[in-house]
Structure 1
Amino acid sequence: MAAESGSNQSVERALGVLRALSAGRSEMRVSDVAKATGLGLSTASRLLATLESAGFVDRDPISGLYRLGLDLVSLGGSVLNNHPVHREARQTAQNLAAELGLGANVAVRRGDRLFYLLNFEGRNAPRSFVLGGQYNPLHATGLGKALLSGLTAEQRRSVLPGETLPAYTPRTVTNHEQLDEEIARTLARGYATEIEELALGRACVATPIRDGSGAVVAGLSVSGPLSAIDLAQREAELVRAVIEAADSISIGLGYVGPAHVTPQRLSTPEAVS
C-alpha cells in the first residue's frame, strides 16, 4: 500500500507540473514550476527531467526554460480521433466556418464548464490561439446554454450551485431565474444566442447536438466579432446553417427524431464519456 501510495503521489505531482506549464506562461523556469505546484525545487527539477525524457516537456537548450512537449499533441490527437462527436462533427464544422466566414465550434460539457473539442476559424473571425482543449463557463456562452438545455432546472442548479453566477461582462446572466428563461427560450426556438456575455465585442449562435438516445451530448456554434455576426441582419441565415449542421451531426450519431428523446442523467460529471 505504501508503494502504491508513493506511485500515485508521483503521478499526481507529474500531472501537476504539466498543468502548471499549461496554465502558466509559454515557458517557465524550474522555480516558477515549483512555486505553481507547491513542490520543492529539487522535486520539480527531477519531475521536469523525467517528463522531458518522455517527450512530454521540452527544454530550451539556451535559456533553460521549460514548455509543454510536442508528444502531448500525439496524445491529444489520439483522444480526439477516438471521440465520436469529434469524428462526426469535424468536417461539418470545417465546412460551416468556410461557408459563413465565422468561427465554428463544437463543445461538450465537463462538469460545470464546457470543453472545446474543435474550432475552425472563418475568414472574418481569426484567432491567434487554438481554442480546442480550452474551457469556458456554461452560463455565459451560447454553447453552454445549448448544453444546459439538455438538463432540467434542478439539474442545472446542481451543476452550477449557488445563488449568484459569475459575471464576465455587464451582460452576463448572473442568476438561475434568468438562466431558466434563457434555456426556455433556447428550447422553444431550437437555438441559443450570446451577445457580449463572455467577452465584449463578440457574439455567437449555438444549438444542441444529440445522440441516438436523444440526449444532448454536445453543442455547435458559430461565433465571431459583433460586426461579422451581425445578428440584426444575419440571424435567420446563421440559425438555419447552424441547425442544419447540428442535425447532420446528430443523425450521424444515431439521432432519429424528438420522439426518441430521453431525459439526461447526471450519473457522471460529464455529458459525454
Structure 2
Amino acid sequence: MASDQSNNQSVERAISVLRAFLTGRPELRVSDVAKATGLGTSTASRLLATLESLEFVERDPISGLYRLGTAPITLGGVALNQDPVHRESRQIAQDLAAGLGLGANVAVRRGDSMFYLLNFEGRQAPRSYVLTGQRKPLHATGIGKCLLLALDPAGRRALIPEPRGFTPYTITDHDRLEEELAEAARRGYATEVEELALSRACVAAPIRDASGAIVAALSISGPLSVIDLPAREEELSRAVIEAADSISIGLGYVGPMSLAPEPVARSRR
C-alpha cells in the first residue's frame, strides 16, 4: 500500500509539472515550475529531467528554459482520432470554414465549461493560435448555450450558480439566460454577440447522438463585422444547423425524440 501511494504521488507530481505549462507562458525556468507546483526546486528539476527523457518536455540548450515536447502532441492526436464526435465532424467543419470563410468549431461539455475538440479558421476569421483543447464558459458562448440545452433549468442553475461576466454584454442573470435558451431550443440554434470577447460573434447548433441526446455543438464564428447577424443570421443559422445535423446523422441520430434533459448532480466540489 505504501508503494502504491508513493507511485500515485509521483504520477500526480509529474502531471502537476506538465500542468504548469498551461499558464500561457511557452517556456519556464525550473524555479517557475517549482513555484507553480509547490514542489521543491530539486524535485521539480528531477521531474523535468525525467519528462525530458520521455519527450514530454524539451529544454532549450541555450537558454536552459523548458517547454512542452512532442509526446503530448502525439497523445492528443490519438485521443482526438479515437473520439467519435471529432471523427464525424472534422471534414464537415473544415468544409464549412472554407465555404463561408469563417471559423468553424466543435466542442463538448466537460463539467461547467465547454471543451474544444476542433476548430478551423476561414480566410475572414484568422487566428494566431489553436482553440483545440481550450475551455470556455458555457453561458457566454453560442456552443455553450447549445450544450446547456441538454440540462433542465435546475441542472443549469446548479452547474453555474453565479454566471460570470466577461464583457458588458455577458448574460449573468439566470432568468435572462433561461429566456435565451428557450429561444435557442425553439429555433434550433443559439447566437452569441460580444458576450465572451468584444468584436466577436457566433452562431451555433447542437449535435446529437443515436439516443437523441445533445453530446456536442458546432459553431460558426468570426469578427462581428463579418458575422453581421442583422444581415446574415438566416444564412448562417441554416448553414450551421445543416452541418450539425450531418454530424448527428453520422453519430446515428435518426430524428427527434422525446427525451428528458440530463440531470446534474447537486453536490459541488
Equivalent position of 1:190 in the other structure: 188
Contact 2:149 2:261 in 1 (8 A): no
Equivalent position of 2:220 in the other structure: 222
Matched, 1:264 2:262: yes
Structure 1 residue runs without a partner (length 5+): none
Pairwise mapping of residues 17-96 of structure 1 onto structure 2 (< 5 A)?
17-96=17-96
Between the aligned partners of 1:185 and 1:262, the Cα distance in structure 2 is 18
Equivalent position of 2:131 in the other structure: 131
Note the C-alpha offset of 1:158: 1.9
Between the aligned partners of 1:129 and 1:24, the Cα distance in structure 2 is 12
Between the aligned partners of 1:24 and 1:255, the Cα distance in structure 2 is 38
TM-score, length-scaled by structure 1: 0.95
Between the aligned partners of 1:266 and 1:207, the Cα distance in structure 2 is 21
* 3-state SS, counterpart of residue 258 of structure 1: coil
Note the C-alpha offset of 1:179: 1.1
Note the C-alpha offset of 1:263: 3.4
Note the C-alpha offset of 1:71: 1.4
Contact 2:143 2:219 in 1 (8 A): yes
Note the C-alpha offset of 1:51: 0.4
| Structure 1 counterpart of 2:137, one-letter code | P
Between the aligned partners of 1:196 and 1:78, the Cα distance in structure 2 is 34
Between the aligned partners of 1:228 and 1:70, the Cα distance in structure 2 is 36
* 3-state SS, counterpart of residue 259 of structure 1: coil
Equivalent position of 1:143 in the other structure: 143
Matched, 1:202 2:189: no
Note the C-alpha offset of 1:227: 1.0
Can you list the C-alpha shifts for 1:60-112, whole angstroms capped at 9, x where unaligned?
Answer: 01100000011111100000000000000000000000011000000000000
Contact 1:213 1:262 in 2 (8 A): no
Note the C-alpha offset of 1:23: 1.9
Note the C-alpha offset of 1:261: 4.0
Over aligned residue pairs, what C-alpha RMSD do you find?
1.4
| Structure 1 counterpart of 2:56, one-letter code | F
Between the aligned partners of 1:121 and 1:260, the Cα distance in structure 2 is 35
* 3-state SS, counterpart of residue 222 of structure 2: strand
Note the C-alpha offset of 1:265: 4.5
Contact 1:149 1:187 in 2 (8 A): yes
Can you list the C-alpha shifts for 1:131-166, whole angstroms capped at 9, x where unaligned?
Answer: 0000000000001001001110011112112xx311
Contact 1:213 1:260 in 2 (8 A): no
Contact 1:59 1:67 in 2 (8 A): yes
Equivalent position of 1:101 in the other structure: 101
Note the C-alpha offset of 1:24: 3.7
* 3-state SS, counterpart of residue 236 of structure 1: helix
Contact 2:152 2:263 in 1 (8 A): no
| Structure 1 counterpart of 2:213, one-letter code | A
Note the C-alpha offset of 1:2: 1.1
Equivalent position of 2:251 in the other structure: 253
Sequence identity, in percent?
68
Between the aligned partners of 2:263 and 2:182, the Cα distance in structure 1 is 19
Between the aligned partners of 1:260 and 1:210, the Cα distance in structure 2 is 13
| Structure 1 counterpart of 2:198, one-letter code | L
Note the C-alpha offset of 1:235: 0.7
Between the aligned partners of 2:146 and 2:68, the Cα distance in structure 1 is 32
Note the C-alpha offset of 1:168: 0.1
| Structure 2 counterpart of 1:241, one-letter code | A
Moved more, 149-158 or 101-110: 149-158
* 3-state SS, counterpart of residue 17 of structure 2: helix
Note the C-alpha offset of 1:16: 0.6
Note the C-alpha offset of 1:266: 4.1
| Structure 2 counterpart of 1:145, one-letter code | K
Aligned residue-pair number: 267
Equivalent position of 2:168 in the other structure: 170
Note the C-alpha offset of 1:260: 5.5
Between the aligned partners of 1:158 and 1:10, the Cα distance in structure 2 is 34
